[in-house]
Amino acid sequence: MFGMITSHKGIRNEDLSVTMYLNASITSVEDIGKPVSVDPAADFTVGFVADADILGVLQSYEHRVLEGGIKVGAVCPLICFKFEYSGAAPTRGGRIVGDGTGKVKAAAVGAGLNSVVTKVDTVAKTVEVMLK
């Protein structure tokens, strides 16, 4: 087998990044690069929502103190990215959803339809994923 030289991490369509409000689960710049889902409790808001299809990847973080302390960030919905996973390893060609902590997990049947797993590293507990 060929050596592992290909990685799709970071391939994205910049034109589709959108600014969203961030819920209380996202707390700092350390959360950039983690998967986010739509928060069903608030309009135009994302967070680390458990068992939810992933909307995209958090690309920026701003805590706007002068605007009442709101937090916003850019979210890119069409992207290839590497995420840490929890639980059992997802399968190549399989689907993933958020796990509620900023990681992903293997999706149940019928969930995660906007994702495709392209690489699984069971040692590092990471997956490379295409979000569509």
Indicate whether 4 pLDDT > 60. Answer: no
Task: With beta carbons less than 8 A apart as the criterion, state whether 111 and 51 touch.
Answer: yes
Average pLDDT, the chain: 90
CB 109 within 8 A of CB 124: no
Q: Answer yes or no: is pLDDT of 1 > 50.
A: no
- pLDDT (tens digit per residue) in 86-104: 999 999 999 999 999 999 9
Mean pLDDT of 70-79: 92
Burial class (CB in 10 A: 0-12, 13-18, 19+), 67: exposed
79 pLDDT band, cuts 50/70/90, is: confident
Containing 83, the helix (H) or strand (E) segment is: strand 79-84
Instruction: At 16, give phi and psi (nearest 5°).
Output: -100, 5
- Residue 6 binned pLDDT confidence (cut-offs 50, 70, 90): low
* Class of domain 14-131 as given by CATH: mainly beta
